[in-house]
Amino acid sequence: MKLQLLVAFLSRRPKAWVHLQQVSFRQLWVLLLAVFILFSTMGFYVDLLHSGRLPYVVVLANAVYGGLDAVLWIVVLARLPLYGAILLGLAQLLSASANEQLAFAIEDHLHPSMVASSTGIHFAATSMMVAVLGSYICFVVYIRITGHEAFRLRTELDLAHSIQRTLVPQISRVTPCFEIFGISKPSEKVGGDLVDVVDLPDGDTIAYLADIAGHGLQAGILMGMLKTAARMALLDGTRNQGGGTLSMLMERLNRVLPGVKEAHMYATFSALRLNLDGQSFYGLAASPPLLHWRAAQKDIVRIEEEQFPLALLPVAGFTASPLRMEPGDLVLIATDGILEVCSKNGVEFGAERLETLMTNHVGLPLVDLAGMIFAAVGDYGKQVDDQTLLLVRRSLAGAGAIDGQCLVVNS
């Protein structure tokens, strides 16, 4: 039963062991020394149980054995596979016999004499006090080293968070035909979600949303690379009409990103082209559904596209399609971090609840609608992934349009 409990405990790999797996030897040796000194008191404790009469060499040998045994457990649990800990657990069953053999070997070779009880007790008690103080000092040194490392990492994460805010600011844009609002809330200091708006040389606008698989610093770095690559592709002067720009963009990202990422990473992608004349187009790559509120019909249409995510496979043929948006229509794109938030019962927030929120509050300003959605999602369950929204509304007829044709408004 004890062995089964040990296996169950080790299979969980508590965070403390994960920390010890990653800590550098410069820090680890201080911790090991602290543990060694602390558990060496077991040898002096055994001497006290024998009224302090054990020979000094036996007491010191027991102290060294107790310290080394504790250190060995930490090394095995932190750095070796699970079976190493199981073998060490089995070896502990033989520890009593090993202690006896060690005592016999010392007696046969060194012939130590017993110690007077009062002298032995004084020696054991003093040694325990010294060992406790020594281990305390080593633990303080270890905490200090770890604290400096944690402070350095915290400073770097704060810097990365500042860069994150620069790379993924809140987006609020009004064009002659469209209102655009985008916002991203990372689950950690640095996230892998991206929302961006780019004005093309011809005056049209590209609004896109990307979700890097995973979150944290690694995803944030790839997100920054994706934004740079996307802007370079869109602003290099290439003249593609209609949805061709979105197809070109997805093709280029799928060619460029694999060379700057790890094999398991990829990105889902959603993009809209919003033209000055009111035309719009969409391109999706393995992204959640695009939700299109149609003002005239007062309903919501889900638009999905079965295409591979970006940067995962060397595929081609990414396509984009027209999206007919009439005045008053609203498009919403949300990342998995919103749709997959779970309640206490394990039920996901889902697209249906998002559609209900859109239907009930479609007339709100986009910034208020986004705030209401984030509030509803936050009340529903805990955020575990980056959460990003992109909202686009077609301006009402008469607001910068003549005969359905939007005007170029000079700011």
pLDDT of residue 257: 93
Question: CA 119, 120, 126, 130 torsion: positive or negative?
Answer: positive
pTM: predicted TM-score of the whole model, two decimal places: 0.68
Query: Going from the N-terminus, what domains does the chain have, and what CATH number goes with each?
Result: 2-160 (no CATH), 168-406 (3.60.40.10)
* Per-residue model confidence (pLDDT) at position 17: 54
d(CA 386, CA 164): 12
Query: What pLDDT does 16 receive?
Result: 53
Each residue's pLDDT, cut to its tens digit, for the chain (411 residues) gives: 434 444 444 445 555 555 666 666 667 888 889 999 999 998 899 889 888 888 888 888 888 888 888 888 777 776 666 655 666 666 666 665 666 666 667 666 666 678 888 888 999 899 999 999 999 998 898 888 877 777 676 766 666 666 667 778 899 999 999 999 999 998 876 778 999 999 998 889 999 999 998 767 788 888 889 999 999 999 876 667 888 999 999 999 999 999 888 888 999 999 999 999 999 999 999 999 999 999 999 999 999 988 999 999 999 889 999 999 999 999 999 999 999 999 999 999 999 999 999 999 999 999 999 999 999 999 999 999 889 999 999 998 544 444 446 654 433
- The distance of Cα 217 from the centroid of its chain, to the nearest Å, equals 7
Residue type, 58: V
- Cα distance between residue 326 and residue 395, in whole Å: 8
Q: CA 331, CA 294: separation in Å to the nearest integer? A: 9
Question: How far, in Å, are 117, 172, 397, 400, 407 from residue 177 at the CA level?
Answer: 96, 14, 9, 7, 8
Q: Could you count the other beta carbons within 10 Å of the beta carbon of residue 359?
A: 12
For tokens 């077991």, name the residue: 42
pLDDT of residue 52: 86
